[in-house]
Every structure is written in structure tokens, then in C-alpha cells.
Amino acid sequence: MRYLTLYLVLMMSVHFCQSQTGISDTGLWSQYIFTKSLKNQWFITGDLQYRTYELTSDFQQFIARAGVGYRPKNTQLDLVAGYAYFLSGPFGESETTSGEHRFHQDIWWASNVATCFELKHRIRIEERFVEDQDFRSRFRYTLFLNIPLNQKTITDKTWYLALWNEVFINGETSTGQGQVQYFDRNWAFGGLGYQLNKALKFQLGYMREVTPNISKGQLVLTAFHKL
């Protein structure tokens, strides 16, 4: 089943990439993602992100997100519920911005395919309250794959290949200002990661974003921190 899911995700990505208008500017997404373990399988998690349409200019988005998670005993599941605030700007010279309040619920789980790499899945449901638009929900599925390069497993001082793909599906097509498609977008990422120790991990790579209208690339720089 997991290989069928991967195949469908990749086929959707290829199909939509064939019919998009490409944007040559490469953006930069900088991300700080943290987790903090609490007692009795509970934890907190969150991230701060700053995005630009070009490498050094043209503000795209600021994101502040936090959530509370729970790991049931004797499972590989993480259950998370949280809230995020988004401040977004349009592509180009305009300096206007709009806000969004967004709630989300996540289910994370790992697949024990082999000891030589990490394979994880995430299903996310979002409730979106975008400024001057109608309420919308969205469904997201992500497949993450990390492959160690200089060690047998990903541990301290390990370089690894990081791959992931995420599909977004809208729950509603009316925004109050127009119509959108049920297919919202697809993100496909490939990059290099380095785990310094149990607390810190870094990734840098290229992500291609495909929507019903455009196709655009961005560098993604991420720091993972276990507090």
C-alpha cells in the first residue's frame, strides 16, 4: 500500500508539472523547527519561517506555528494539534500583505521498511481563516525519506540525503472572491542534511512548487532543534 501511495503522489506531480507556467525566479525559505518533550508522552512543537519570492528580496510569507502533541505508548504514531499565523505578500513590487489564522491536526507515523533509512508519513488537516475570504479546509499528505550517506544509520555527525513530497487538496473550491480547484499544489524536495547530534539537524535543498497555474522553485534551508 505504501508503494502505491508513493507511485500516485509521483504521478500526480508529473501530470501537473507538464501543464504549468514556469517562473524563473528562485525563492528562499528559511525555517526553524523545534520540539520539546514533556512528561507522559506529551510534547510541544512549532516552527518559524520566513519566505521570499527571490533569493534575497520580495517578501512572500512569515509563519509562526505551535502545537501540542501526544505519542501513544507502544506505537509509532505522533498526534498533533496546533495553530499558526501567516502574513503573506503578493509576487512582485506590491507591498500589501494579508493575514491568515490557521488551525491544524496532524498524524505522523513511521514505516519500518529497512534499518538503513528513515521513512515517515504525515497527514495534516487544516482549517483556514484567510483575511477577506470564506472559511476553507485543506488536506495534506507528505512522504519523507532520509538516506544516510556516511553511516549505516542517521546518528551523530551523519550526512544524509533528504527527499520528500507533499500533496495539498482543498476541501472547498469557493473563496468568497472566486473559485479554486480541489488540487491546490504539490511540493517536491531534494536536498542534503547533516545531523550534528541528537539535538540539532540541518537541511538544505531545492523544492519545486506546482499549482494549477504556476511552477516555481525555491531553496529551502531548515534547522531542526530538539530542546
- Stretch (H or E) spanning 88: strand 77-88
Asked if the model's pLDDT at residue 8 lies above 70, the reply is: no
pLDDT for 14 beyond 80: no
User: Range of 84's domain?
Assistant: 2-226
Question: What tens digit of pLDDT does each residue of 39-50 get?
Answer: 999 999 999 999
d(CA 149, CA 159): 6
Q: What is the pLDDT of residues 99-114, one digit of tens each?
A: 999 999 999 998 877 7
Distance between CA atoms of 94 and 221, rounded to whole angstroms?
25
CATH number, domain of 98, equals 2.40.160
How high does pLDDT run on average in the chain? Answer: 90
Least Cα distance to 91 among 57, 64, 63, 62 occurs for: 57
pLDDT for residue 127 = 98
- CA diameter of the chain: 52
Q: How far is CA 27 from CA 76, 127, 190, 214, 219, in A?
A: 35, 26, 15, 14, 6
**Any idea what the Cα angle at residue 126 is, between residues 183 and 168, rounded to 5°?**
20
- The answer on pLDDT for 1 being more than 50 is no
pLDDT for position 7: 45
pTM of the model: 0.87
- Rounded mean pLDDT, 14-26: 61
Mean per-residue pLDDT for 158-169?
A: 97
What's the confidence (pLDDT) of residue 76? 87
Strands (E), 154-199: 158-170, 183-195
What is the total count of domains within the chain? 1
